[in-house]
Structure 1
Amino acid sequence: MAKYSGIWPVAPVAFHEDGRLDEDGTRRILDCMVDQGVDGICILANYSEQFLLSDAEREQLTRLSLEQVAGRVPVIVTISHFATPIVIERARLARDLGAAMVMMMAPYHGATLRATPDQILQQFAQVGEIGLPIMVQDAPMSGTDLSVPLLVQMAREIEMVKLFKIECVGAAAKLRALIAEGGTDIEGPFDGEEGITLLADLDAGATGSMTSAMIPDQIKPILTDWAKGDRAAATAGYARILPAVNHENRQCGFRAAKAVLKEGGVIASDFCRHPIAPLAPQTRAMLLDLVRPLDPVALRWGK
């Protein structure tokens, strides 16, 4: 197995029905994820609804999460922000609290503010001085084209840039090109987007996947079988989970994991803050119909 490999899902944040943070629910989510045998956990990412949290809540959740996980698995803290001083401050806090690494998107704000390639390099380099490994998140949300030559340059010039979460359109082709051009400097090629393109990405050379927290225990065997060279078992496993993951990716987004976790008694509420709308009852029902036959830990952990 590669140094950076396996399944590192994103932890959702639990809320009470009135929108307040549910600290106990978030702790239970983290414990449930650890009990599923995940290889690491990412917090405060887009699937953690990071864009719906205040700065004070982010710090509160960083402290809570690292305290609760307590070193049982590595924790990645997402620190993306347009302002480099804020990113550095977040990275320093993550390091001081015991995070294993940080994850960052290229700096952006709104629909029009984007950083140049040189500014992107500068921000990542300054964060690298904090001393934690960095995962570069190549996500459509940033609206920034991170070219393969730029990513390879980052890996070669910034010592702490070691991992790459590629979740753009055509992720497999980009992963293949990144690994071909970057060689051993690309220590952790990962995919994302709930594993919707996992099999193609593994074939392209991905060693890990950052999925949601919905069914990581059902997705991990696919990565394990692929790493062992058992393509037939990995393909069969992928075919088994794909309808549920497709429904999650195309119909539900980050609401899916919390719906499953609520159904399994892990959390009391799957509330998402306004302006996010709740899942339509029919969409939620179909999600659960697709997930139940898989018998994931999340559906029985709290019962």
Structure 2
Amino acid sequence: MSAAVPREGLRGVLPVAPTVFRDDESLDLHGQRRVAEFLVDAGSAAICVLANFSEQFSLTDAERLQVLEATLDQVAGRVPVIVTTSSYSARITRERNRDALQRGAAMVMVMAPFFGATMVVPEDGVLDYFRRVADGLDIEIMLQDAPMSPTPLPVPLIARLAREVPQVRHAKIEVPRTAAKVRALRAAAGDDLPGLYDGEEAVTLVPDLDAGVLATMSSATVPEALAAVVARYHAGDRAGAVEAWERVLPLIHYENRQCGLAAAKILLAEGGVIGSARTRAPFPEIGPRTREELLDLARSRDALALRWA
């Protein structure tokens, strides 16, 4: 059973756990458990699994369940576990939501429905989709507003979703000009949407905190550093938060622009948390020069992933 989500939303860092593979691309569930333990030790306020940075698009349905079960068992209720359940099909998403609830997840994260670059859904279709995936389910939903989906989510639509679908109480905003959108959402949705979070590896974290996000949904690269940034900010030490954030900003910017989801795996493998940094083909491998530059940045910032094991 996962820990409960506070009614006022989560504060801190909500890292996305990578899905751990062996060198032959098979699941490494022992490594998955070690990642969960590392993220708890790093001070995470919650852990998200099966997200895009978890390579959810490369997993079978059976593998999804194995990853979720291993994580929930290892976390053992110490922090909430968030499960990404996105699918173009409302039926599939609703079944995944029901399954996540029954297994003990605290929240589900759902993208606006899409398939490829051209199969987008109009506003009325988005509203109907979220009504269907939430119908009869006692689990909170985080709306993922990400550029991967070409289905638009303008502020009035998100506010209407929060107002008309009671389970939609959280939103992860990871689009250009996040801070401006968060401010507009706070004004439009108010108490209907208490949980506002950013993503994109926290590259705009302090401006987003200024705008009203409570937490950052980062990767698993430096969760301990980002947890400290958010804690300082919410304690009223904005200057200290800025200083701590700017210290790790070159590393997370490098991750965001040069490595993507592979960055966390590289650090976790280098530090012995997991046995392999493998991603599933055809995701591109990171070249040796890029890998070393990433590790140099991480070492100079004393990343916990490199010494936790």
Aligned-partner Cα distance in 1 for 2:68–2:130? 20
* 1:220-271 deviations in Å (ceiling 9; x for gaps): 1111111112111011011101000000000000000000000110011000
1:267 is aligned to 274
Task: Give the letter aligned to residue 89 of structure 2.
Answer: A
Q: Which runs of 5+ in 2 are unaligned?
A: 1-5
For 2:150, the equivalent position in structure 1 comes to: 143
Q: Which residue of 1 aligns with 2:100?
A: 94
Q: CA deviation at 1:296?
A: 2.3
The separation in 1 between residues aligned to 2:62 and 2:266, in whole angstroms, is 26
CA deviations on 1:189-241 (whole Å, 9 max, x unpaired) are 10001101111101111111100001000111111111112111011011101
Contact 1:218 1:294 in 2 (8 A): no
Q: Once structures 1 and 2 are overlaid, which stretch shifts more, 58-67 or 140-149?
A: 58-67
- Residue 253 of structure 1 is matched in structure 2 by 260
Match for residue 39 of structure 1 among 32, 39, 45? 45
Q: Residue in 1 aligned with 2:19?
A: 13
Give the secondary-structure state (helix, strand or coil) at the position aligned to 2:284.
Answer: coil
Q: Which residue of 1 aligns with 2:138?
A: 131
Q: How does 1:180-219 map to 2 (within 5 A)?
A: 180-219=187-226
Check if 1:109 corresponds to 2:115. Answer: yes
The answer to whether the 8 A contact 2:258-2:290 is kept is yes
Consecutive unaligned residues of structure 1, counting only runs of 5 or more, are none
Rounded Cα–Cα distance in structure 2 between residues aligned with 1:69 and 1:34: 7
- Partner in structure 2 of residue 223 of structure 1: 230
Residue of structure 1 equivalent to 2:167: 160
Aligned to 1:65: 71
User: What secondary structure is seen at the aligned counterpart in 2 of 1:256?
Assistant: helix
Distance in structure 1 (CA, Å) of the matches to 2:231 and 2:69: 31
- Please state how far the C-alpha of 1:126 moved relative to its aligned partner: 2.2
Give TM-score, length-normalised by structure 1: 0.97
Determine if contact 2:21/2:279 at 8 Å carries over to the other structure.
yes
Query: What whole-Å deviation, never above 9, does each CA across 1:80-118 have from its counterpart, x for those lacking one?
Result: 000111001100110000000000000111111111211
Q: Which stretch has the larger CA shift, 67-76 or 79-88?
A: 67-76
**Over residues 35-84 of structure 1, what are the superposed CA-to-partner deviations in whole Å (9 max), with x where a residue is unaligned?**
11100000000000001111211122122221221111100000000011
Tell me the TM-score normalised to structure 2 length: 0.96
Cα distance in 2 for partners of 1:198, 1:81 equals 28
- Structure 1 distance, partners of 2:9, 2:86, is 24
Q: 2:245 is matched with which residue?
A: 238
Q: Is the 8 A contact 2:91 2:133 kept in 1?
A: no
* Preserved CA contact (<8 Å) 1:163 1:187: yes
Q: Distance in 1 between matches of 2:250 and 2:171?
A: 26
| Secondary structure of the corresponding residue to residue 144 of structure 2 | strand
The answer (yes or no) to whether the contact 1:4–1:187 under 8 Å persists in 2 is: no
Paired letter, 2:177: G
Which amino acid in 2 is paired with 1:29?
Answer: V
Partner of residue 82, structure 1: 88
Instruction: For 2:9 and 2:164, locate their aligned partners in 1 and report how far apart those are by CA, in whole Å.
Output: 20
Cα distance in 2, alignment partners of residues 29 and 60 from structure 1: 14
Whether contact under 8 Å (2:9, 2:170) holds in the other structure is no
Taking the aligned partners of 1:83 and 1:184, their CA distance within structure 2 comes to 29
Report the count of equivalent residues.
302
Q: Kindly indicate whether residue 295 of structure 2 is the aligned counterpart of residue 284 of structure 1.
A: no
